[in-house]
Structure 1
């Protein structure tokens, strides 16, 4: 069996995530403590006892989801599963940072600080209320791209996340996104849902955030990952630290090519995907991309035990 470890992005956050891992595994608790130290605040208290509105703020959600993924990885390692059990790692948007941390390319502290900065920069790139995102369900990527071009009318609206064969997220100026959503429904979309996000991620409006990440990533120590990263913007494996660094900058304004990434891994012989961290959103996408792919979410001690048994045999 060839397997990949994948790491979730924004939207998977829940109050209490990772708490049972921290209770069951001292190494998982140490991950949350290290992230708290790196940020100089008790993010773990917000994750476990806070309000969902505060956790969902981009500046909090990004490092929080990474911490939960790394806690799950620490629990797996405690059960004898190392990152080398996977042939590839990948992550959805911020999950790409989690994947790089898991694969030894970035330290945990640097990853936490980068994601706090990334969250703040993405939030600040567009004034509140001027941007929006919408999920278009039931139309393929090419159709949604055509609709976005038609709806733009001099504004920005782009396909931001190509998630699976029937789910594409669009992003841009609020009015343009609303026009595209209406057009999509006219063209036969099953649903066009405005998303409760604070900024229009993964589109040209994020250029100020991309500039901020270019400066931050230039100053951070990055190693080549011990397991190749299947990158969001290239939808294939990459192991060069310098190339990955540039891809992370491009990712801020670029499309998350998740459907193509999973298809690429399938073409390389990947048959099992383990979703490390909060939620099961990526597992659902994977099954819609390739029904033959086996998926397993790893976010609780019970999940860890099941995954360890499956991997260790």
Structure 2
């Protein structure tokens, strides 16, 4: 049974998320490296105030994902494949050995700065539940205009789609969606319009910065949630990382692909369990598991039992 580690994106962050990681030497080493590079104590990275910042939210999510993956590897739970949603793709790339954690921290800091500078206020993302793409897309097209932009952004599940754009446009789409039978339309804790053309310029600036980074071929299968396919060439992965902020997320398709390629033990890095809940309908023959606030020995024991069945 193949192990797939998934890494969540923005919206899952919470104060104290780094403190809640397992008390393990592998985790401590990652946190120490983050402190040294970012020049800030870990205890000050995931405070409520810091997590109002797109920059620090992304840095904390990267650090949390890499720490958990290295912790599992230190306990002989090694992934066969990785996949990350949005900023989670950077933790996936580090875990697969494509780029170093140090380089990822620097790139993610730049990524967050570019995104925040592009849209400092008045924009964001909203999750629409209960409508599929065929029903939601016309509502988005009806509202979208140069003055009130809004786009389909994340395809997390067939009837769980996130839109991105101006707050006014998203509110209008939300009202239309509810009138059309949606179950809910909830703003997400993301303060920039990710995964849509509004971030094209920022994405290309990050792509330029990627050119100077040393890359390696992935040691594990790397599934791109932007392309919903496996990438093996490190330069393609670098472009995927840089451009994913302006590219829709095809998470549901990516999980279907991973399942078709033999993944069955799906382990979600902290924080949260959003990706685990999305995986459950797909991996009905496997074992989706969220690491967040779960005892490390319980996680390791469960995974070792299932891995023994290979």
TM-score (norm 2): 0.92
Whether the 8 Å CA contact 1:100–1:106 is kept in 2: the answer is yes
Whether the 8 Å CA contact 1:262–1:286 is kept in 2: the answer is yes
Aligned to 2:56: 60
Whether the 8 Å CA contact 2:10–2:190 is kept in 1: the answer is no
Aligned to 1:294: 287
Aligned to 1:35: 34
Question: 1:218 offset after TM fit, Å?
Answer: 1.2
- Deviations 1:47-69 (Å, cap 9, x if unpaired)? 46x3x232241100111111112
Among 110, 116, 132, the residue aligned to 2:109: 116
Whether the 8 Å CA contact 2:264–2:283 is kept in 1: the answer is no
Among 117, 121, 144, the residue aligned to 2:136: 144
Question: 1:291 offset after TM fit, Å?
Answer: 4.0
Aligned to 1:26: 25
Flag the 1:190–1:298 CA change in 2: closer, same or farther, 3 A. same
SS in 2 for 1:69: helix
1:154-169 alignment runs, 5 A limit: 154=146, 155-169=148-162
Aligned to 2:186: 193
Whether the 8 Å CA contact 1:73–1:102 is kept in 2: the answer is yes
Among 123, 135, 142, the residue aligned to 2:127: 135
Q: May I ask how many residue pairs the two structures share in their alignment?
A: 304
Flag the 1:288–1:301 CA change in 2: closer, same or farther, 3 A. closer
Question: 1:101 offset after TM fit, Å?
Answer: 0.6
Most deviating of 113-122 and 139-148: 139-148
Whether the 8 Å CA contact 1:181–1:192 is kept in 2: the answer is yes
- Deviations 1:96-141 (Å, cap 9, x if unpaired)? 0000111111111111111111111111112412x23211010112
- Deviations 1:192-225 (Å, cap 9, x if unpaired)? 1233432111111112320221122111112111
Report the structure, 1 or 2, having the larger helix content.
1
Whether the 8 Å CA contact 1:13–1:56 is kept in 2: the answer is no
Flag the 1:150–1:288 CA change in 2: closer, same or farther, 3 A. farther
Structure 2 unmatched runs, 5+: 306-310
Structure 1 unmatched runs, 5+: none
- Deviations 1:62-95 (Å, cap 9, x if unpaired)? 111111122212321332223xxx3321001000
Whether the 8 Å CA contact 1:21–1:29 is kept in 2: the answer is no
- CA-atom RMSD, angstroms? 1.8
